[in-house]
């Protein structure tokens, strides 16, 4: 839910489910997107930890041909490398926020604000949907 809310502020951005539960899932999803919208450039956005785990993926070579890999890294962390030569790679550095998602959920349950800790669109989506309300 929150990645979709965050993507709303980027024209043309779409969020698709991550971590498909079938072998070669990422390749299948990207291939389907190419069939649905030929000529559109696709980006596979992964956090640095997930990018480091890519060598374990099935159909890794096929995935390389379908999308540009975007590695999202926290400021000050070591760079994650592409899983093999030949990948088109972009990097995005985000501010380091030393707060876990469970801390955000706790703040929300206690009625505390999370402004500045997540994008404004995420704050709005959480409020509109009444998520993480205080237990009654």
- Residue 59 has, within 13 A of its CA and on its CB side, a CA count of 14
* Residues 83-115 pLDDT 10s: 889 999 999 988 877 788 889 989 998 989 999
CA distance 116 to 74: 16
The reply to whether 46 falls in a domain is yes
pLDDT band, residue 77 (cuts 50/70/90): confident
Q: Which domain holds residue 110?
A: 99-136
Overall size of the chain counted in residues: 136
* Residues 13-42 pLDDT 10s: 666 555 444 455 676 677 777 777 788 888
Q: Please tell me the total count of domains within the chain.
A: 2
Both 34 and 82 in a single domain? yes
CA distance 31 to 65: 10
Locate tokens 């500045």: which residue?
A: 116
**Phi/psi at 108 (5° precision):** -65, -45
The reply to whether 4 falls in a domain is no
User: pTM for this structure?
Assistant: 0.62
CA angle (30, 52, 79) in 5-degree steps = 110
The reply to whether 2 falls in a domain is no
Q: Checking DSSP bridges between strand 43-47 and strand 68-74, what pairing results, if any?
A: parallel
């Amino acid at each position: 839910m929150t990645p979709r809310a965050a993507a709303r502020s980027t024209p043309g951005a779409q969020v698709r489910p991550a971590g498909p539960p079938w072998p070669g899932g990422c390749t299948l999803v990207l291939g389907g997107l190419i069939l649905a919208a030929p000529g559109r450039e696709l980006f596979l956005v992964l956090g640095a930890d997930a990018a480091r785990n890519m060598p374990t993926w099935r159909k890794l070579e096929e995935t390389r041909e379908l999308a540009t890999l975007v590695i999202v890294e926290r400021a000050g962390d070591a760079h994650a490398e592409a899983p093999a030569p030949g990948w088109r790679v972009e990097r995005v550095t985000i501010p380091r926020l030393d707060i876990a998602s469970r801390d955000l959920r706790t703040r929300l349950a206690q009625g505390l604000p999370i402004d500045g800790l997540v994008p404004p669109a995420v704050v709005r989506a959480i409020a509109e949907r009444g998520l993480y309300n205080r237990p009654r």
